[in-house]
Amino acid sequence: MSRVRTEYGVVEGVESDGLHLFRNVPFAAAPFGVRRFRPPSAPEPWDGVRDGTRPGPAAPQPAGQGLFGTVYAPPSTGEDCLTVEVCTPDPGAAGLPVMVHIHGGAYVFGAGSAPGYRGQTFARHGIVHVGINYRLGIEGFLYLGDGADNLGLRDQIAALEWVHRNIAAFGGDPGQVTIFGQSGGAVSVFNHLAMPGSRGLFARAIAQSGHPAATVEPDEAMRTTRQIARSLRVPATAEGLRDVPIARTVAATESALARFGRKIVVGDARALLLSPFRAVHGTESLPVSCGQLAKTAGASEVPLMTGTVRNEAVEIVTMVSSSAWLAPLVRRGLGSAIGIDRALRDAYRNGPRRITDASALVEASWTDWAFRMPTLRLAAARTAPTWIYEFHWQADSRLPLLGASHGIDLCFVRDDVALVAAAGEDGRELLGAHQPHDLATAMHAAWVQFAKSGDPGWPRYKPRGRATMVFDTRSALVPDAAGAERRAWQNRELHGM
């Protein structure tokens, strides 16, 4: 057993293979009861020794949405959910680099304490790894006016503040903090690049498969709030929602997510971002989105590594394509929302992928509209050091349409493919029979190197040259990997960009 004294009390963790893991360590008080729908507040100090050997509960959320079985699913959920877990190579060390992971899940699902987000692989390379839990769905991202906006992001800031004050006790350097995340976690990373409250709390950032402007204005956010409040038959205020049982708000979160997704059929482009629960810009906590801020003199100077996988939208398109009656409706809706015209068709047909299949065209366009092109526009607009990558590898078990799907890169970044490959049928379908462990080693090394030095090992992305690291069975540096597709998109409007 290992013990560390934090500002709120002593926590006892477990030592294994020379690494020290401390779980369920509170950075803020339970955000329910009188604290519900309010910004995070400090936890109560404790006497004696707190048990940090078991994972803490994740935020309340709909069940059954764990990616690849239980690998990325929360071990449990509950009210006392604002906790971190820390994995360190040596709590007695000093000055070790720190990586703070923000989990994804559309701001509705997930947990920083999930098995697939364990920090041991980073700790083995001399990094203190911190995973955080934060409020989700209605509890964390329902807009209730200034002071009660972006609560899930405010939780993340509170966790970063805790890291700044306490990580030295675990051997970490508060001046060498890298924040990183995938999907909703990547969107969070982008938001922190723009949030005044986050400044000075991290030195580097990594965003995997996110959108730098996946935010909404207060008016649109309030429409969502009123719609949900009507479904719950309560006033659209913090006071009106505070006494609603958690089970009902979780159910309402799930219903709102499904209702939002159905807008794709009618060509509503906003639905391409999949979740109605998003950060609200035009607020005190987030004046402007990261995508807009990048074009101004006030843009963040934090070094950023960011990228996408080749087929971000493929799981959804494949699922829809299996329905003979629904597929044409969705393709028409998506085509209208994205604006697929002859120029885009020609770019994909004549580009390196030679796309002619209608479903594959929709998938590629959706991926580029929602992930790849906004990321590249942000990179081109930034004056701060920025590196771009793409992940192209796909398993031998995948159908031709499926490709490199959203989330497949998670276990490669952590050099932990064996964990996912062993996760039953889902893991085998994702990774196939033969996993490229050399690719996992290379990606993990790039993430480690960036956290330690601020440089992943390839040239920066600049409008001239557009150097892109393509991770595949044979990884290579490619100039302007987006090529003709990027040029076909360059004069088109993207959400918030």
Residues labelled catalytic: 183, 312, 406
Q: How far apart are CA 381 and CA 364, in angstroms?
A: 23
The rounded distance, in Å, linking the Cα atoms of 144 and 123 is: 39
- The helix/strand count (H/E) of the chain reads as 18, 15
Per the DSSP assignment, residues forming a β-bridge with 208 are: 182, 307
How far is the C-alpha of 194 from the C-alpha of 433, rounded, in Å? 42
Phi, psi of 44 (to 5 degrees): -75, 135
Q: Which residue has the tokens 């070790």?
A: 96
Q: How many CA atoms lie within 13 A of 180 on its CB side?
A: 26
Show the CA angle centred on residue 253, arms to residues 84 and 316, nearest 5°: 90
Q: Which residues contact 484 (CB under 8 A, 6 or more apart)?
A: 347, 350, 351
What's the rounded Cα separation, in Å, for the pair 294 and 377?
A: 10
* H-only helix segments in 195-286: 218-232, 238-241, 246-261
Q: Distance between CA atoms of 275 and 70, rounded to whole angstroms?
A: 22
**Chain position carrying tokens 């580009």:** 351
State the Cα–Cα distance between residues 1 and 264, nearest whole angstrom.
Answer: 52
223 burial via Cβ count (<10 Å: 0-12, 13-18, 19+): middle
d(CA 494, CA 370): 8
C-alpha 455 chain-centroid distance: 21
71 with 427: CB under 8 angstroms? yes
Supply the DSSP symbol for 368. Answer: I
